[in-house]
Structure 1
Amino acid sequence: MTLSRKDFQALLIVICFGFWIENLVQGADDYYVYSPVCQMPAVNPFTWDTMSNFHRKTLRHCHNDSDMVTSEFDFETHQYRLHVHEHLAKPIMNRKGNATLECEYQEISRDNSDQKPDNAYNQLRRRPIEQHQFVPNNTDYMITSCYVRDVTKHRELLQQDAISFIEDRLPKEKVKDFVKDESEVHKPSVLIMGLDSTSRINLRRAMPSVYKFVRQPGWFEMQGYNKVGDNTFPNLLAALTGDSEKGVGDYCDVTKPGCLDSLNFIWKRFKKANYTTAFAEDCSSISTFNYLKPGFVKQPTDYYLRPLLFAIEKQFKVTNDFGFAYCVGRHLSFSYVWDFGQQFIDRFLGRSPMFGFLWSNSFTHDYYEGATALDNLLWKYLKSFEESNLFQKSIVILMSDHGHRYNTLRRASTGYFEERMPMMFIYLPPWFRRKYPHLASNLGKNQNRLSSNYDVYMTLQHLLQLDSKSVDEFPDNLRARQCKSCQSLFFELPFNRTCQMAGIEEKWCCCQPTETITNSPHVSTIAEAIVQRMNEHLISHNLSDLCHNFTLDYVEKADRKTILSNGLRPADKNEQVYIIVFETVPKNPIFEATVRWNSRTQRLLHFDVEELSRLTSYKNDANCINRKNAKKYCICKDSLSRPS
């Protein structure tokens, strides 16, 4: 058969197009995101420099005795009952002769009269526990104590514990209306579950059981999810309020009581839509909205665990592991939060639309290997939530704020991506996928598009107006205040999306490929200029009396970014973006700076010392100051006489 010229040209175009598609697909396999303006390389979690020093940890239990006082929800009266398990004390009572068991409780409540109610609580007088007694409907938390009293009236404490209650205070008519409407109009419940400092990469490495769970049908992994800030606060702020840490400063001072209350936390809108809301976070000393901040003046959600955790961390024996409170009394700090979540699900699923936010720091905040000890326990909670039918009715998000930021994992070859790419999994229940197939399809497409915390905020907004056809239908007051171009993940994200469009600053952006140039002669000049700027910053912020000046020791690594065709190329061809990892003295902290450098003028451009990353811990270096960002770059003079 002889081909005409036109046929030959058409065949050639088809062949060339086939090669282009094949190369694109092959390229996409090696990348989380692959577009002309964003190329995030896929990271192997099991590289030698991460696995050579990687050890699985064992879950350590906090007690080996049984609970003497337990609570049970009575579904007929919609109240809790307390049960005293006297048989557990029989052996001790028999040894002491005619001894008796006495159990008491003290109610704990939030002290709303305090200037900083998040850091205060009320503790009422002791009351005896009667067997099978009802818990008053206005009781949220209690501390229980059981004693053995001998014939001399001497009391020996046998066990002390803490119990939280998710009391059912819903009016019967409200429940009846919800059940009636539920058969016609599904109002999706939402549960957000978070682990601090857990990258999508480390989840695969450290938590295979949990990872297998979120690989089931209905789960969508946002593989192009890129953090927007350094630590927990700015990243959760963006996801829950649509604000940035800098942006909030235009409205109020987050270190002053009342500021956080004034922000557009997404649970406020869910509450206005008649949702029942809950918030729980462990490790009260480093809680997201309380570490070096006053927390909330008004209780943020209907059910709020902080008063109990704050009280028992003050009163019970606290055992640290993985850097922070591990056991608080007889239970894991982690378990208080997730048992609270289980109660919330059991109490309201099918009775009211729910919005819940559960956050845990205890295992993963400081030690990336801590996740290995948590794997099976978190899997058990997920299975328990599944047995409670959470996944039949609700949209569930499993997320993190960022990856590991310090030491071993951060300094591995993949550490740059580990830190900047937190896990983000979104689950859509079967009814939602059937009713809104176009939204589920868009979420599927967006798995390999660049996305950010601001998009998550817009997604949560979208769940309260599911009939919206485009982001244009969202009024301005519902947009992410610091990223007006961000949008719900249920709308298809642009294929050629840049970090700027997603509200991600250049320092955190994982889109641009890099070239390592550590041995280039001008690298030390750039590093010296960075260190000089750091010292100038100490002086300008009145920190030079407290903090020691820096001297450059050596440059560990230097990368130069390749600016892709995104229209953001600098006007001056001599301007380049560099990522410099360097060590200074004293005390040998290691920093990472993302800077713009003009090789013609030999000057740094737009470098903010507050945005430095510190790759080694500052725990023993910065106790002389309470400014969170400044702790990264302050070596306290009074720390020099102490070992690191």
Structure 2
Amino acid sequence: MFRLVNNNGKLIIAIVVLLFIFIFVNRDANVVVVEESTQPSLNRSSLVSVQSSISAKPDKISSSKNYFWVLDHKCKIPRLDPFSEDVMNIFKPPKFEKCTDQPDLFTVRYHLKEKQYIVKFNESLFVQLFPNISDYGCVFHEIIRGPDDSLTWNKRSIFSERDWIVPRHVQGIVVECFDLRNRSRVLQRDAFSFVQYPVNCNDKNDEERSRTLPSVIMLGIDSMSQMNFQRTMPRTAQFVRQPGWFEMLGYNKIGDSIFHNFIILLTGRSPQQWLSFCNIRKPGCLDAIAFLWNHFHNSGYLTAYAEDIATFNFTRRPVDYYLNPIMKAFEKIMTKVKRLQYDYCLGRKPSFRYVFDYCLQLVQRFVHETPKPFFGIFWTKSFSYDDFSGAANVDKDFVSYLEQFKEHGLFERAVVILFSLHGQHKGPLMDLSSSFLEERLPMLHIYLPPWYRKQYPTVVHALDVNRRRLSSTVDLHLTIKKLLLQVHPGISYQLPCASCKTLFEILPVNRSCYDAAIPSHCCSCEPHTRVPKSVSVKAMAKLVVYRIRQYLRVNNYDGQCYRLEFKNLLRAYRKQYLDVNGNEMKSYDGFYSYRLRLTTRPKGAFRATVFTNLNGNVVTVREELIERLNVYRNDSHCVTSPRAKQFCICRPST
């Protein structure tokens, strides 16, 4: 706690007081108290001006229930306008570069009776495109399975026929035509993956099982909040307003990184909880963990996993149909076009289209033609991660895939989940007052087919009620498992937490973030608004760094750890206090909460919750509310205490 002198003293007295600092540690409260002064590195007037930032009028929140997604005694999540003036001023849908303007020389067809793919070469089109080239050759690179389930390609084989029947063992090919007079001149190159028909299947038995075992398809878009989905993908948003779809408006993220959230979704446990078993970031650990697809595989489902940018690195093939190694092989052969951080174009089409083409093949093979229950996750990030407006460029293509899925009967047979795991956490959207909720409320839409709604009316009722209840990624994990429990009631699973629930049962009213296993810094139940990085707010951030330094000094880590210096304030949010009806009110105890993100010299990144009173002359920084954000396992090897490891950046050993 930092207590500042009042402004009534004369200037000479204030200067003298600033020269004498009396600091002691209140060990019970675990805070630093500075009496009648402050540290020399902070400007006194800037700290006093904290009052002005507290007194500034906060964003108005209406008390009407229509202006809240969730409104109960423990959770209040305001409803935001996705098309507010401030966000539309910065929303500029990008025009992505076309991957190619040239028509396709090669197309793929599937022979249903023979259950084989046929690659067709359009010779007449070639003559139109290249009238001056008479001597040309076409070859294909066959993607084959290597050791440890990795994929590579064999030497080039001549494409000698216009129609080439793809052998059933081939999972992918790259085809190309070139000028025989100049073999380095590639005229066209394309890549295709194949969902091959499984061997030793009982089609009649599988079709009977598919009538009671719903296929489960999860379509994911990275960094997509509820609001940004409505804003950037209006066609897709309109599609999921059809009967059978349920939008979870209280769905809250459970971690900051995609890896953290994905592990929780797929396993029900966080990376930290898995540490007692193995380090999931080390090769081989992921192969030993039970994922959702393992449970479905054990229940007789075919399983699939595809993504355009790899999130996990398995050493063994985790599912029956695994696109990632094929994509890696394509990336080594095909031309790539980057947009911001990731490859947007991979050869002749956007990266995300390989994922949804793969999904479409699975739907064609195992929903439309020879029904078999299957579970698949299809994840994309190449168009949405770096640019909040990027999804606007693919909305038309995305809804086109949904329409094709519909034509092939997916929505008659399958449970479909359209989801994200968190919203945007960088870029211009984060400069707006709405950024607190944009970051924490990912989209989640759940579709139930007509036969399922008829058979399980209580699930329909629960989803309808739960639309406006607080939920989390752990709840979604349990919801997916519930689909298996409905047809195999004898299966038992360990609950990730005692109060976590499936969305197929009515969630409790007055549910807190703690009940839903949502960490406090991710919680949307206490609305915060973005505030400017004023001198006064920066002063609070400097006090956080001062608190870290004091901890290291008091615990005798000075000799081992660098003395951290404040570098930059990244973001600041102020908590908004609401009564039970959602009306704005003063805080109960006279203290107001700020959430800060800041960086230090050397390379530290921290998040902290800071409290200050209305007058701005008392600031409380609690040690346990300071959290290190950047990876520090290699920077804090010189200390053993978990708390010290969060704060310490080790000096070089001598």
Distance 2:196 2:86 in 1: 50
Distance 2:76 2:131 in 1: 72
Correspondence for 1:149: 180
- Determine if the alignment matches structure 1 residue 593 to structure 2 residue 623: no
C-alpha distance 514-474 of structure 1, shift in aligned 2 (>3 A): farther
Correspondence for 1:578: 593
- Determine if the alignment matches structure 1 residue 243 to structure 2 residue 243: no
**Matching residue within 12, 34, 39 for 2:76:** 39
- Determine if the alignment matches structure 1 residue 493 to structure 2 residue 507: yes
Given that 2:218 and 2:378 are in contact with CA atoms closer than 8 Å, whether structure 1 keeps it comes out as yes
**Matching residue within 176, 179, 188 for 2:207:** 179
- Determine if the alignment matches structure 1 residue 559 to structure 2 residue 559: no
Correspondence for 2:412: 392
SS in 2 for 1:497: coil
C-alpha distance 417-159 of structure 1, shift in aligned 2 (>3 A): same
Correspondence for 1:106: 141
Q: Write the deviation string for residues 141-165 of structure 1: whole angstroms up to 9, x where unpaired.
A: 1111222435xx9674221111100
After TM superposition, give the deviation of residue 100 of structure 1 in Å.
3.9
C-alpha distance 137-548 of structure 1, shift in aligned 2 (>3 A): farther
C-alpha distance 378-517 of structure 1, shift in aligned 2 (>3 A): closer
C-alpha distance 252-345 of structure 1, shift in aligned 2 (>3 A): same
Q: Write the deviation string for residues 184-241 of structure 1: whole angstroms up to 9, x where unpaired.
A: x521001000111000011111111111111111100000000000021111111111
C-alpha distance 558-112 of structure 1, shift in aligned 2 (>3 A): same
Given that 1:595 and 1:606 are in contact with CA atoms closer than 8 Å, whether structure 2 keeps it comes out as no
- Determine if the alignment matches structure 1 residue 50 to structure 2 residue 64: no
Distance 2:484 2:260 in 1: 24
Correspondence for 1:512: 526
Distance 2:354 2:512 in 1: 40
- Determine if the alignment matches structure 1 residue 336 to structure 2 residue 354: yes
- Determine if the alignment matches structure 1 residue 168 to structure 2 residue 168: no
Matches within 5 A, 1:338-357: 338-349=356-367, 350-357=370-377
- Determine if the alignment matches structure 1 residue 503 to structure 2 residue 517: yes
- Determine if the alignment matches structure 1 residue 528 to structure 2 residue 542: yes
- Determine if the alignment matches structure 1 residue 288 to structure 2 residue 311: yes
After TM superposition, give the deviation of residue 137 of structure 1 in Å.
0.9
C-alpha distance 547-157 of structure 1, shift in aligned 2 (>3 A): farther
- Determine if the alignment matches structure 1 residue 200 to structure 2 residue 235: no
Q: Which amino acid aligns with 2:230?
A: R
Distance 2:156 2:603 in 1: 53
C-alpha distance 525-268 of structure 1, shift in aligned 2 (>3 A): same
After TM superposition, give the deviation of residue 44 of structure 1 in Å.
1.2
Correspondence for 1:69: 106
Correspondence for 2:167: 136
How many residues were matched structurally? Answer: 566
Q: Write the deviation string for residues 555-614 of structure 1: whole angstroms up to 9, x where unpaired.
A: 97452465989xxxxxxx98978333366677999975345789999541413533489x
**Matching residue within 610, 627, 630 for 1:609:** 627
Distance 2:306 2:316 in 1: 15
Mean Cα deviation higher: 121-130 or 593-602: 593-602
Correspondence for 2:295: 269
After TM superposition, give the deviation of residue 334 of structure 1 in Å.
1.1
Given that 2:607 and 2:626 are in contact with CA atoms closer than 8 Å, whether structure 1 keeps it comes out as no
SS in 2 for 1:95: coil
SS in 2 for 1:271: helix
Given that 1:93 and 1:148 are in contact with CA atoms closer than 8 Å, whether structure 2 keeps it comes out as no
Distance 1:455 1:214 in 2: 21
After TM superposition, give the deviation of residue 84 of structure 1 in Å.
1.6
Given that 2:302 and 2:373 are in contact with CA atoms closer than 8 Å, whether structure 1 keeps it comes out as yes
Distance 1:545 1:142 in 2: 55
Matches within 5 A, 1:610-629: 610-611=628-629
Q: Write the deviation string for residues 81-121 of structure 1: whole angstroms up to 9, x where unpaired.
A: 1212122222577524xx344222121134334xxx6xx53
Q: Write the deviation string for residues 405-449 of structure 1: whole angstroms up to 9, x where unpaired.
A: 013111211000000000000001111111111111111111100
Distance 1:320 1:538 in 2: 44
Correspondence for 1:437: 457
**Matching residue within 215, 225, 239 for 2:241:** 215
Given that 1:63 and 1:331 are in contact with CA atoms closer than 8 Å, whether structure 2 keeps it comes out as yes
SS in 1 for 2:147: coil
Q: Which amino acid aligns with 1:175?
A: D
> TM-score scaled to structure 1, two decimals?
0.79
Correspondence for 2:467: 447
List alignment gaps of at least 5 residues for structure 2: 1-61, 581-587, 638-645
C-alpha distance 59-217 of structure 1, shift in aligned 2 (>3 A): farther
C-alpha distance 281-535 of structure 1, shift in aligned 2 (>3 A): farther
Distance 1:94 1:338 in 2: 34
Distance 2:506 2:576 in 1: 28
After TM superposition, give the deviation of residue 484 of structure 1 in Å.
3.3
Correspondence for 2:583: none
After TM superposition, give the deviation of residue 251 of structure 1 in Å.
1.6
Distance 1:227 1:217 in 2: 26
After TM superposition, give the deviation of residue 527 of structure 1 in Å.
2.3
Distance 2:532 2:297 in 1: 53
SS in 2 for 1:463: helix
Distance 1:506 1:608 in 2: 12
Given that 1:37 and 1:498 are in contact with CA atoms closer than 8 Å, whether structure 2 keeps it comes out as yes
Q: Which amino acid aligns with 1:412?
A: L
> TM-score scaled to structure 2, two decimals?
0.78
Correspondence for 1:121: 151
Given that 1:219 and 1:428 are in contact with CA atoms closer than 8 Å, whether structure 2 keeps it comes out as yes
Given that 2:174 and 2:191 are in contact with CA atoms closer than 8 Å, whether structure 1 keeps it comes out as yes
Q: Which amino acid aligns with 2:314?
A: F
Distance 2:147 2:551 in 1: 40
SS in 2 for 1:492: coil
Distance 2:427 2:439 in 1: 11
Given that 2:548 and 2:623 are in contact with CA atoms closer than 8 Å, whether structure 1 keeps it comes out as no
SS in 1 for 2:522: coil
C-alpha distance 343-545 of structure 1, shift in aligned 2 (>3 A): farther
Distance 2:237 2:130 in 1: 48
Distance 2:106 2:539 in 1: 66
Correspondence for 1:22: none
Distance 2:143 2:375 in 1: 24
C-alpha distance 593-89 of structure 1, shift in aligned 2 (>3 A): same
C-alpha distance 368-520 of structure 1, shift in aligned 2 (>3 A): closer
SS in 2 for 1:234: helix
After TM superposition, give the deviation of residue 523 of structure 1 in Å.
6.1
SS in 2 for 1:465: helix
After TM superposition, give the deviation of residue 307 of structure 1 in Å.
1.3
SS in 2 for 1:105: strand
After TM superposition, give the deviation of residue 474 of structure 1 in Å.
6.7
Given that 2:303 and 2:376 are in contact with CA atoms closer than 8 Å, whether structure 1 keeps it comes out as yes
Given that 1:593 and 1:612 are in contact with CA atoms closer than 8 Å, whether structure 2 keeps it comes out as no
Distance 2:571 2:208 in 1: 64
Given that 1:203 and 1:211 are in contact with CA atoms closer than 8 Å, whether structure 2 keeps it comes out as yes
Distance 1:505 1:577 in 2: 20
**Matching residue within 96, 104, 116 for 1:79:** 116
SS in 2 for 1:194: strand
After TM superposition, give the deviation of residue 180 of structure 1 in Å.
3.4
After TM superposition, give the deviation of residue 257 of structure 1 in Å.
0.9
Q: Write the deviation string for residues 468-515 of structure 1: whole angstroms up to 9, x where unpaired.
A: 89xxx873xx2343x232121101100111111101011101112458
SS in 2 for 1:504: coil
After TM superposition, give the deviation of residue 552 of structure 1 in Å.
5.4
After TM superposition, give the deviation of residue 545 of structure 1 in Å.
11
